[in-house]
Amino acid sequence: MNNNKLPAWINVLLLPLLNLALALAVSALVFIAVDVNPLDAAQLMIEGALGYQEGVGYTLYYATNFIFTGLAVAIAFSAGLFNIGGEGQAYIGGLGTGLVCLLLGPSMPFWIVFPVALLAGMAFGALWALIPAYLQAYRGSHVVITTIMFNFIAASLMVYLMVNVLKPEGEMSAVSAVFESNAHLPMMHDILGWFGIDFVRSPLNLSFFLALAALVLVWLLLWHTRWGYAIRALGSNPTAATYGGINPKRLTVIVMLISGALAGMLGMNEVMGYSQQIRLGFVSGYGFTGIAVALIGRGHPIGIFFASLLFGILFQGGNELSFEYANIEREMVEVVQSLVVLFSGALSLMLVKPVEKIYLALTASRANQANTQEA
């Protein structure tokens, strides 16, 4: 993959940052095209996302979603699988979480609803990944295509369920009933309040900690366990993995289940935390953003954390922009996001050769200088 002769800090830090800078530079051109000064916009976005408590709350709330979907893409990637179906898995996962909240909410206390809702979300998400996973492993159909198909199937299924089953009598828009209060995830301002810390109201909730825990667990799984070893071996070289006693088919299914479960956790934030009801289309592209997050995060949990923050800032900052500028709406964020995917993902190799050249030239000239000084 990267057989270049660059030191690790260039490969791991400089190149990704350069790619990101390129993406942002091209994004700036789009801002200019719609008559917005990109520097003003950037300043406004950063202030809007990080400058005050509510903004920070929103930023982290978005980041929570991206951590889940980013990890889902990344773990599949490390096994050599491109799970493009995070969108559908998150959608169905959220359905699972929501159903538990609707069913158990009226009768059960929070400490029962919470774990069951979490597990249901993960199970539903995993289930939605199961068929594409099985077909990839045992029938040879490509997981990219089948997960795309399953995104659409999920969307249609949800429309049907929302409109025909979950919508309460007399409700006009396609939403479920609002959950009972014991099926709400505690909000961050409440949690901090228990410790006597004042934090302004925002959608940020307990699931942020779930996301952080997921980051740590995935990191441990991939780099500090025999199962992670097997996953990475499968991703790097399936033949060697088979030689090493790993069953690639079974592992493919397992990894996709984990991936789907991670995507399914998005419902904890969106459904149980934020909206406290199931709404049509609540995933709204977060699954795809997960691809961008995994790409700039280079599939590593630490990278994914920062990439999620970055996209949290973009989304929240994008909201601020749309208040300020008539020309800008959420779609502008999508443009930036697409350029990040393009430069950090598809064109990630573009800068390797030139950077290598510059680096070698610099080290050579430094060596020369050292030589002449010695002489």
Instruction: Restricting to residues 170-209, name those near other proteins by CB under 8 A.
Output: none
Decide whether 148 or 178 has the Cβ nearer to other proteins: 148
CB of 65 or CB of 337, closer to other proteins: 337
Interface residue with other proteins among 7, 115, 168, 244 (CB under 8 A) is 244
Site for other proteins in 141-160 (CB under 8 A): 141-142, 144-146, 148-150, 152-153, 156-157, 159-160
The rounded distance, in Å, linking the Cα atoms of 87 and 290 is: 9
Footprint on residues 336-375 left by other proteins (CB under 8 A): 336-339, 341-342, 345-350
- Give the residue with the Cβ less far from other proteins, 94 or 273: 94
Q: How far is the CB of 61 from other proteins (least distance, A)?
A: 21
> Is position 281 an interface residue for other proteins (rule: CB under 8 A)?
no
Contact with other proteins (CB under 8 A): which of 171, 193, 197, 224? 224
Residue 244, SS3 per DSSP: coil
Q: Is 127 in the site for other proteins (CB under 8 A)?
A: no
**Long-range CB contacts for residues 99-102, cutoff 8 Å, separation at least 24:** 100/183, 101/179, 101/180, 101/183, 101/271, 101/272, 101/276, 102/166, 102/176, 102/177, 102/179, 102/183, 102/278
Which of 49, 56, 206, 295 lies at the binding interface for other proteins (CB under 8 A)?
295
Task: Supply the minimum distance, in Å, between the C-beta of residue 39 and other proteins.
Answer: 18
Stretch that binds other proteins, among 28-36, 103-111, 204-212, 260-268 (CB under 8 A): 28-36
Residue 268 binds other proteins (CB under 8 A): no
In 3D space, the residue among 285, 308, 286, 284 whose CA is nearest the CA of residue 297 turns out to be 308
* Residue 323 touching other proteins (CB under 8 A): no
Q: Which of 131, 175, 192, 212 binds other proteins (CB under 8 A)?
A: 131
User: Looking at this protein, which amino acid is placed at residue 258?
Assistant: I
**Coil, helix or strand at residue 245:** coil
* 21 vs 197, beta carbon nearer other proteins: 21
Exactly one of 12, 232, 249, 355 binds other proteins (CB under 8 A); which one? 232
Nearest to 145 by CA among 158, 132, 134: 132
Which of the residues 77 through 116 are near other proteins (CB under 8 A)? 82, 84
* Closest C-alpha to 71, from 237, 213, 273, 171: 213
Query: What gap in Å lies between CA 218 and CA 239, rounded to an integer?
Result: 24
For other proteins, the closer of residues 54 and 334 by Cβ is: 334
How far apart (Å, rounded) are the C-alpha atoms in residues 32 and 37?
6
Q: Which of 54, 180, 324, 334 forms a contact with other proteins (CB under 8 A)? A: 334
Closer residue to other proteins (CB): 324 or 334? 334
Q: d(Cα 205, Cα 302) in Å, to the nearest integer?
A: 21
- Token output for 305: 């954390």
- Return the residue of 229, 249, 324, 359 that touches other proteins, per CB under 8 A: 229
Please answer whether residues 291 and 84 qualify as being in contact, where contact means their C-beta atoms are separated by less than 8 angstroms.
yes
| Residue whose CB is less far from other proteins, 84 or 265 | 84
User: How far is 264 from 122, CA to CA, in rounded Å?
Assistant: 5
Beta-bridge partners for 205: 187
d(CA 6, CA 338): 28
Helix, strand or coil for residue 187? strand
Choices 112-120, 188-196, 200-208, 240-248; region in contact with other proteins by CB under 8 A:
240-248
Nearer to other proteins, 118 or 137 (CB): 137
Q: Which residues are CB-neighbours of 318 under 8 A, at least 6 positions away?
A: 45, 328, 330, 332, 333, 336
- Among residues 291, 296, 309, 310, which is the contact residue for other proteins, using CB under 8 A? 291
